[in-house]
Amino acid sequence: MAGPLVRSETDARAVAWITLARPERKNAFDAQVISELIAAVSAVDKTSRAVVLMSEGDAFCAGADLEWMRSMVDFGLERNAADSRALARMYAALDALPMPLLARVQGAALGGGAGLVAVADIAVASTEATFGFTEARLGIIPSVVSPYVLRKIGAGHATALFASGIRFDARRALEIGLVEAVESPEELDAKLALYLDAIVAGGPHAVNAAKQLVRDVAGRPVAEVHEMTVARIAEARVSAEGQEGMRAFLERRKARWDT
């Protein structure tokens, strides 16, 4: 009997690791992978400090599985909508995580796989990684991932990449903001650890609140968010975590977070 296509575990620092475990199919999506990934994300403990999405083999995620796509050729509109809705739920579940979501991109991230990179808060890529929103080459469009891609890289880059379907390397992904850092394969895990160490060093509530703050402020006029931002920093300062963090800094000691 085949094992799970998505594995998950939580380490001693309360970091949840979710692994796409289908290397023989380039970690491509099908209905089972989508279902298992939704289940894995839903099972993440809300007190986890961060979630890392990674994969086995030489590809991060090649997008939709060829056999799954072949089966969809004869589907009608209603069945296609149902499958697309499940895929949308998968991205929405990842996006709704309250703690930072990190992606470890060691290889090709194409189509929906590039969408996984876009939904991550922090993506760290190997110099061997390649990317592409290649759907137009198949006569379709990257519709479900588009909200996350536009939020990450903006309309200009998204239009160019969606319309051309061109593949690009990790350096270009860094230039447009799709990934946060690029390292050699040998240094990839060290770079990932750098971000995880920094996240775990921060106040648990403050880290999650910082992520939410960006979501709530982005795209809104300064005047519209003025009172909200004032209230949030004031509340953070008087909170138990804020008090401990500031006292620890002033006393030159490590903060003792109450998680």
The 10s digit of each residue's pLDDT in 157-197 is 999 999 999 999 999 999 999 999 999 999 999 999 999 99
- What letters, b where the CB count within 10 A reaches 16 and e where it falls short, cover 15-26? bbbbbbbbeebb
Give the CA distances from residue 244 to residues 79, 104, 133, 202, 211, in Å, rounded to whole numbers and listed in that order.
53, 32, 45, 11, 20
Give the CA distances from residue 115 to residues 109, 177, 231, in Å, rounded to whole numbers and listed in that order.
8, 13, 34
Asked if residues 33 and 63 have their Cβ atoms less than 8 Å apart, the reply is: no
pLDDT of residue 108: 98
The 10s digit of each residue's pLDDT in 193-233 is 999 999 999 999 999 999 999 999 999 999 999 999 999 99
Cβ neighbours of residue 150 under 8 Å, at least 6 residues apart?
A: 158
The 10s digit of each residue's pLDDT in 38-92 is 999 999 999 999 999 999 999 999 998 877 776 776 777 777 777 789 999 999 9
pLDDT band at 1 (very low <50, low <70, confident <90, very high): very low
